[in-house]
Structure 1
Amino acid sequence: MRLTIPALALLLGLAACDQQAANSTGNAQPPATASAEASAETSQAFQQLSEEMVAELWQLFPSWAIREGYYEVADQLQVPDDAYRKRVLNFARTFGRKFANLDSSQLDANASSDLALIQNFLSRIQWELTKFKSHEWNPAEYNVSHAFALILNTEYAPLDQRLRTFSKRMAQVPAYYGAAEKSLGTPASPQLVLAIQQNEGALSVFGEEVEQKLTQSGLSSDEKAQFRQRLEASREAIQDYVTFLQTRHADLEKTQEYKSFRIGEKLYEEKFQYDIQIGMSAKELYQRALEEKTRLHGKMTELADKLWPKYFPDEQPPESKLERISAVLEKLSQHHATKKTFKAEVEKQIPELAAFVTEKDLLTLDEDKPLVVRTTPPYMRGFAVASINAPGPYDKGANTYYNVMPIETFPDDRAESLLREYNSYLMQILNIHEAIPGHYTQLVYANKSPSLIKSILGNGAMIEGWAVYTERMMLEAGYGDFSPELWLMYYKWNLRTVTNTILDYELQVKGIDEERGMELMVRDAFQQKAEAQGKWRRATLSQVQLTSYFAGYADILALREEMKQKLGKDFNLKEFHEQFLSYGNSPVPVIRELMLASLQSEAS
């Protein structure tokens, strides 16, 4: 069964009631003892079952395991054919039944929330394979490169051992791509274009670098010969897949009989409930975003009117508030890095953000966890200007990578548009979001969570919501000295978060065209054309994910205000942040229940 957020709240409430009942039994010792024994047995059974599920999970999804830092299965590559999908479906159904047989009322709050995440995950797998079926229309799902790159570049073991692992895994690459071709039906156009681009980039993982490392290694002559044979076969398999996709693309261009990338209201609402988990429908969040858009326009109007005399001393402001806001933003956007200095400017700001967080005592930062700013690898390009790749809970000491798109390679007009979008003001917000105290910091904390389930079954709305929340939190704490220019740019950035939700819903459910989407982003949200074009493409490539920013942010902000009211003068912002992050990547409603349970426990 699928455990919804209201059901989770009830579950946690029942657990709390059971504990209160046990505490109030007075001399009725036998029932309390029996209850304690039952609870202990259920907790032990749940722990064992969870460990069994995770162990089988990594056997089924070795590439995911590698991303989490679990290298015991790194030499394996599952072939995505019908037999494999049948195994995955059986896994989800079998463990779904086993977990449903547990008496969840006997679990404590932390275990109950783990159970909720597990049930949602197992139900989502079944929905994905039987209803959504993206394996039939999204060729970008098939790409072996990321896990191979991690094996090659993460020093979890000596190079010779990693090369042997790399070699054994390569043996399955031809079968992998053969199965991918057979699995695909009629693809959607944006996903088809992305698959071609990223798999062409995948060839770089099997290029000169790995050959140089092989030459310098201590592998035997026979091992090196076998490695080179498999390497050539892998290159051929990837290139054959690219050619296969290019041929399909050319054929479908003639007929325009692509599968629609718009999934429609029913599938969208279902995916939203599995992915976001905030206790409201996608339609309700969309309506909330429309209201927030109006509110943000009001805030931006106030700041634009305040800044107008400073930047346009001899000009009358236009009557349209959107035109006034746009004019001031355009003026501020002229302050930006160059194509060649963009990545260096990103790197320069990271220690400045860390120093501010420490000075204001907003969070405890772990200085031993490395953050490496790098150019986005070719096999990951085409989706976002900046992103974070963090190590998983099994390899906590590995590098976290801050990926920055190679703007220096773009044509001048596109580069200038992006540089105006990510100007000197917005770059600061971007770095807060992606690095400190946003994604990088949150993911370091997630790896410290005692719950493995909460770390690996991460909720996107919580992860993205935290990054969005920190943008506002940092400015509230005085970052930027309360500069009206920075606040205006922050509101523009925050408006992007809100617009993401509106765009995603209207594109996937209401069926808007690109002209309407560009109007929404460029006119109503003041985005540069290149940014808007990139976001339109991203919205055609994914579904629901773009709503995670606003959904999580709104829930976290509401939770902070709720805790302020409950604690009054005892509320401490740093303590709130660290307790919130201690629960791993849980959905915000789950974290809320855990924080309230903790508060109640302290009061009793």
Structure 2
Amino acid sequence: MKITPTSLADFVPVLLIVLTLPLTLAGCDLQQRNPEDKGADRASGTVVATANASGNNQSSSDSAENFDALSTQMMTELWRLFPSWAISEGYYAVADQLQVPDDTYREKVLQFSRRYRDRFSAINTEALDSNDRSDLVLILNFLNRLEWQITEFQSHLWNPAEYNVSHPFALILNTEYAPLDTRLRTFSERLKKVPAYYRAAEQTLQKPASPQLMLAIEQNEGAMSVFGEAAEEKLAQSGLSEGEKKVFRQRLAAARKAIEEYITFLQTRHAELEISQDYRNFRIGGDLYEQKFKYEIQIGMTGKQLYERALADKEKLHDKMAELASELWPKYFPGQKPPKDRLQKIAMVLDKLSEHHATKETFKAEVEKQIPELVAFVKEKDLLTLDENKPLVVRTTPPYMRGFSVASINAPGPYDKGANTYYNVMPIEEFSDERADSLLREYNQYLMQILNIHEAIPGHYTQLVYANQSPSLIKSILGNGAMVEGWAVYTEQMMLEAGYGDFSPELWLMYYKWRLRVLINTLLDYEIQVKGIDERRALDLMVRQGFQQQAEAMGKWRRATLSQVQLTSYYAGYADILALREEMKAKLGDDFDLKTFHEKFLSYGNAPVPVIRELMLEELTAPDQSNRPTSRN
């Protein structure tokens, strides 16, 4: 899992305020729009803009220069508006700023979105090359989504977990982008607005949803660690004057007090709502779900259509798993007759394989141990070029980021490419024996390998290193979650197809279980958010039909109540990437090279797969022309 932002509040932890659109680069679905129109095309995620406003007869070079200048101007203003997001991208020029998420701030965001949408819509798109046009599509969708988030989705009113200042402060403290004294002065300046930040959060929140309320309490309690001993120790090591240190400590104490008061506020609201049971429903319903799906997934189909496709694929995957379970049955159950129920047979073989796992004390070390093995395999098979100079640090998930997943990647942004990428691993050693055993059986010696392929090599870590090298900042920053998650899922199958694990039927059966999880993520997300299924039905889907351990299923139930649509990104992106690979194979025939495909695909940053497809196909038809994004942005 790649950590993704949850809101338009000042806490935006990584790169992905994601967007979506039906894309045809030839025309980019560009047509005249009334700037005052807030109609169905924007809500549905369709991008529209003025193709040639006011009879615009700009030359190609003039249009490109205007587009580049406007893009640069927008990005500069974007970082002033979202300084926490900027820090996560490695842009530290605004690191001393903290926006207070009140009505005034949200109005600024709306004005920003509407102003730049109008200005970009006035560009002569026909004079742009395909790379600039595709950047324009991403920009317009991003701006439309900003407005939709505030005016229609309105999670700032019901999701208290959006309000958490800790992650950018932790980056300032722990990322050596500048001398310690400089970073501490930045940290101190930023601290000034923490009390106002949390006052605005309390004043903004109306009726919260229960899962989000509980997560907000848990993560803000974890946030206290950023403003405790770690900050005090850094201060003691610094060369700040005694006066500066005094001010720092005063501001640090005020920040801790503000967080404590916010936690108390949330706990009080929780106690009140527990009595009345008048929580906001965490299920967003069909209309909002489809709108969010179109903005964030971008695959040319609705959420309902993807759900129906996943249902059909689940049955096909059960067939494959049943065949492998039959093959392995005599080896693991000699002389024992298999049950007639195929799901039960699959489950019994998987349970037997799951007995081979790390201990809760060695889990993190075993994760670390496998990374070099994956690197060696990718090199041996020449699957793509790896940059071994980009640090990957396996660490225990920080307290302020826990409660969402067992493992995740925190990657640096394109402005600070050399910073560490962190592979976060949940502290299983702190769990009870029962809970730890369930998770360890889930992430057994087979699935741990698939997990590391997904999160690290050649999955998220590798893809995000490539994304930071993309000459188009737009494609790297305004990225698409389905592409990011889809790549990680695609690499699991690609590695096994290349011979990783020596085509072991045990590993393939476990891989199918993992891929089944991808399908069930899609089913689970849609059924919870749209169909309104309860926890019992969800657990049946995951445990009986998906063969997941109870602890994993309970964790996924919680995650599915905390997010919407994101769980579909794995299947959606994977299917699109696999289809693109097969399409390129068919077009190139004997000239198709897997490594070339991978590196070309990754060269376009975090762009949606349909965008990448159009750009790759255009290169096939114009082999002597450079269609790569320029470095102008």
- Normalised to the residue count of structure 1, the TM-score between the two structures is 0.95
Shift of 1:5: 1.7
The CA distance in 2 between the partners of 1:482 and 1:61, in whole Å, is: 47
Per-residue deviation, residues 65-90 of structure 1 (Å, max 9, x unmatched)? 00000000000000000000000010
Q: Secondary structure at the match of 1:318?
A: coil
Report the counterpart of residue 451 of structure 1 in structure 2.
472
Report the counterpart of residue 64 of structure 2 in structure 1.
43
Q: Secondary structure at the match of 2:377?
A: helix
- Structure with the bigger RCO (C-alpha within 8 Å, sep 6+) is 2
Shift of 1:209: 1.2
2:173 is the alignment partner of 1:152:
yes
- 1:127 is aligned with what amino acid? W
The CA distance in 1 between the partners of 2:222 and 2:107, in whole Å, is: 30
Per-residue deviation, residues 401-447 of structure 1 (Å, max 9, x unmatched)? 00000000000000000000000000000000000000000000000
Equivalent pair of 1:564/1:571 in contact (CA under 8 Å): yes
Report the counterpart of residue 515 of structure 2 in structure 1.
494
Query: Any residues of structure 2 matched to 1:268-283 within 5 Å, and which?
Result: 268-283=289-304
Q: Secondary structure at the match of 1:602?
A: coil
- 1:199 is aligned with what amino acid? N
The CA distance in 2 between the partners of 1:134 and 1:597, in whole Å, is: 39
Q: Secondary structure at the match of 2:516?
A: helix
- Cα distance change, pair 563–603 in 1 and its aligned pair in 2 (3 A): farther
Report the counterpart of residue 114 of structure 2 in structure 1.
93
Q: Secondary structure at the match of 2:300?
A: coil
Please list every run of at least 4 consecutive aligned residues from structure 1 whose deviation after the TM superposition is greater than 4 angstroms: none
Query: Any residues of structure 2 matched to 1:340-359 within 5 Å, and which?
Result: 340-359=361-380
Report the counterpart of residue 519 of structure 1 in structure 2.
540
Report the counterpart of residue 405 of structure 1 in structure 2.
426
Q: Secondary structure at the match of 2:101?
A: coil
How many residue pairs get aligned? The number is: 583
Shift of 1:602: 1.1
Query: Any residues of structure 2 matched to 1:450-469 within 5 Å, and which?
Result: 450-469=471-490
Shift of 1:138: 0.2
The CA distance in 1 between the partners of 2:315 and 2:28, in whole Å, is: 37
2:27 is the alignment partner of 1:10:
yes
- Cα distance change, pair 36–184 in 1 and its aligned pair in 2 (3 A): closer
Report the counterpart of residue 366 of structure 1 in structure 2.
387
Report the counterpart of residue 596 of structure 1 in structure 2.
617
Report the counterpart of residue 553 of structure 1 in structure 2.
574
Q: Secondary structure at the match of 2:59?
A: helix
Per-residue deviation, residues 33-91 of structure 1 (Å, max 9, x unmatched)? xx997111111111011001100000000000000000000000000000000000100
- 1:69 is aligned with what amino acid? G
Equivalent pair of 2:410/2:421 in contact (CA under 8 Å): yes
The CA distance in 1 between the partners of 2:554 and 2:26, in whole Å, is: 41
- Cα distance change, pair 93–12 in 1 and its aligned pair in 2 (3 A): closer
Q: 1:80 aligns with which of 96, 101, 105?
A: 101
Q: 1:298 aligns with which of 313, 319, 332?
A: 319
Report the counterpart of residue 24 of structure 1 in structure 2.
none
The CA distance in 2 between the partners of 1:292 and 1:416, in whole Å, is: 30
Report the counterpart of residue 28 of structure 1 in structure 2.
none
Report the counterpart of residue 579 of structure 1 in structure 2.
600
Q: Secondary structure at the match of 1:447?
A: helix
Per-residue deviation, residues 191-211 of structure 1 (Å, max 9, x unmatched)? 000000000000000011110
Equivalent pair of 1:388/1:401 in contact (CA under 8 Å): yes
Per-residue deviation, residues 203-240 of structure 1 (Å, max 9, x unmatched)? 00001111011012100011000000000000000000
Q: Secondary structure at the match of 1:372?
A: strand
State the identity as a percent: 72
Equivalent pair of 1:12/1:112 in contact (CA under 8 Å): no
The CA distance in 2 between the partners of 1:532 and 1:468, in whole Å, is: 19
Shift of 1:343: 0.1
The CA distance in 1 between the partners of 2:611 and 2:136, in whole Å, is: 11
Equivalent pair of 2:23/2:611 in contact (CA under 8 Å): no
Report the counterpart of residue 405 of structure 2 in structure 1.
384
Query: Any residues of structure 2 matched to 1:304-343 within 5 Å, and which?
Result: 304-343=325-364
The CA distance in 1 between the partners of 2:208 and 2:576, in whole Å, is: 36
Q: Secondary structure at the match of 2:622?
A: helix
2:525 is the alignment partner of 1:504:
yes
The CA distance in 2 between the partners of 1:193 and 1:226, in whole Å, is: 33
- 1:5 is aligned with what amino acid? P
Q: Secondary structure at the match of 2:383?
A: coil
- 2:353 is aligned with what amino acid? L
Report the counterpart of residue 118 of structure 1 in structure 2.
139
- 2:229 is aligned with what amino acid? E
The CA distance in 2 between the partners of 1:598 and 1:257, in whole Å, is: 56
Per-residue deviation, residues 81-139 of structure 1 (Å, max 9, x unmatched)? 00000000100000011111111111111111100110110000000000000000000
Report the counterpart of residue 223 of structure 1 in structure 2.
244
Q: 2:557 aligns with which of 506, 531, 536?
A: 536
The CA distance in 2 between the partners of 1:96 and 1:384, in whole Å, is: 36
- 2:400 is aligned with what amino acid? Y
Q: 1:161 aligns with which of 171, 178, 182?
A: 182
Per-residue deviation, residues 306-327 of structure 1 (Å, max 9, x unmatched)? 0000000021000000000000
Per-residue deviation, residues 309-363 of structure 1 (Å, max 9, x unmatched)? 0000021000000000000000000000000000000000000000000000001
Shift of 1:11: 3.0
Q: Secondary structure at the match of 2:554?
A: helix
The CA distance in 1 between the partners of 2:61 and 2:316, in whole Å, is: 50
Flag structure 1 segments of 5+ consecutive residues without an equivalent.
15-34
Equivalent pair of 1:392/1:447 in contact (CA under 8 Å): yes
- Cα distance change, pair 558–68 in 1 and its aligned pair in 2 (3 A): same
